[in-house]
């Protein structure tokens, strides 16, 4: 996999067998419910880590739990379905799961860093440069109906349902 390429979402099935970490970051809308389903999870290699920072319903919770309880996958979940998890939910006792209470990114450093990043991104775009962190990137042709999948590293893939826009 060429880690410098932004792939369309339709390429996801061919990319999944090669990732060690799948980070799910998507808004919740009718088309994103169950986006990461049993088929997506089965395509991941053994011992892959699924990180859900999106919304609980973006990942098929039953399919994820089946993979976790079998011991084949690991997970770091900032969100779940249902949320919050009931006190007696088996995920609380799974050794291959890290659960945070939907506050994974909320630190004192978050807001100043976010402002700084947004300023740098806008400056780069206004001066005709790639946004920060998107060096040496080619965009493969995608049909108008295809969403893009930014691929940052060979083992770290971000799944996005829409391209970022600056208003």
Q: Specify the pLDDT at position 9.
A: 80
DSSP letters spanning 63-92: HHHHHHHHTS-EEEES--SSSSPPTT-GGG
**In sequence order, which residues have a C-beta less than 8 Å from that of residue 2 and are 6 or more positions away?**
none
Q: Specify the pLDDT at position 118.
A: 81
Q: Specify the pLDDT at position 59.
A: 97
Quick one: pLDDT band at residue 84, thresholds 50, 70, 90? confident
Can you give the pTM of this predicted structure?
A: 0.64
| Lowest model confidence (mean pLDDT) among 61-65, 131-135, 157-161 | 157-161
111 an active-site residue? no
- Catalytic residue chosen out of the listed positions 18, 89, 102, 124: 102
Contact yes or no for 166/122 (Cβ under 8 A): yes
């Amino acid at each position: 996999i060429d880690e410098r390429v932004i792939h369309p979402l339709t390429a996801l099935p061919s990319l999944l067998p090669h990732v060690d970490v799948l980070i799910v970051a998507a808004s919740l809308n009718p088309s994103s419910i169950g986006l990461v389903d049993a088929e997506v999870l089965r395509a991941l290699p053994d011992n892959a880590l699924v990180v859900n920072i999106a919304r609980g319903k973006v990942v098929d919770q039953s399919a994820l739990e089946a993979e976790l309880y079998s011991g084949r996958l690991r997970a770091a979940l900032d969100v779940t379905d249902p949320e919050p998890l009931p006190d007696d939910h088996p995920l609380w006792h799974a050794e291959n799961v890290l659960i945070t209470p939907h506050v994974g990114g909320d630190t004192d450093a978050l807001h100043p860093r976010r402002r700084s990043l947004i300023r740098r991104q806008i400056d780069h775009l206004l001066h005709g440069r790639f946004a920060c962190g998107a060096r040496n990137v080619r965009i493969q042709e995608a049909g108008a109906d295809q969403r893009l999948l930014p691929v940052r590293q060979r083992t770290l893939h971000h799944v996005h349902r829409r391209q970022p826009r600056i208003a």
